[in-house]
Amino acid sequence: MKPSSTPSPAARATPRPGRLVRVAAGVLLSALAATGGADEYTATDLERWQQAYGQVVKKGDELFHGGLASENTLQCAQCHPNAANTHPETYPKFQQQLGRVATLFEMINWCIENPLESAPLAADDPRMVALQAYITFERRGMPLAPGKH
């Protein structure tokens, strides 16, 4: 992708480190594509990945049903039995509570901060990943409907 502004003559003369990294990554990717190595996995890999996924969904299930520390002891499942009304398939969408278009992660944090009166989780906190995995798993098979209310 081209940067939107024209680089200064000095910038054009010396390749920037970012560009070198992109070139190196490109060379590596072409090498992988040539050998077909980028897409290959074995049945054992698949089993391991599915097992890891299943464990994260299970963890999310536990957190959703009281496993997440909550300042006022409320838990997700009290208001969202089996995550049925969490509608992950509709995200990102405009969320009235936040007054803007938000992701599922931000809406989960809204519930942690408001109904649960607790501290929000970082996007890459394993508990946040697990909650999203569980909610999405419960709604598997639903057609994607971003923006829907």
Q: Which residues bind ligand HEC (CB under 6 A)?
A: 68, 74, 76, 78-80, 86-87, 90, 97, 104, 107-108, 111-112, 115-116, 131, 135
Q: Nearer Cβ to ligand HEC, position 111 or 133?
A: 111
Q: Nearer Cβ to ligand HEC, position 34 or 144?
A: 144
Give the CA count within 13 Å in the CB-facing half-sphere of 123: 4
Q: Nearer Cβ to ligand HEC, position 50 or 73?
A: 73
What is the C-alpha separation between 54 and 52, in angstroms, rounded? Answer: 6
Closest CB 33 distance from ligand HEC, rounded Å:
38
Give the CA distances from residue 29 to residues 41, 44, 99, in Å, rounded to whole numbers and listed in that order: 17, 24, 41
CB 98 within 8 A of CB 51: no
Q: Return the closest-CA partner of residue 135 out of 80, 68, 95, 55.
A: 80
Q: Nearer Cβ to ligand HEC, position 50 or 97?
A: 97
Closest CB 147 distance from ligand HEC, rounded Å:
11
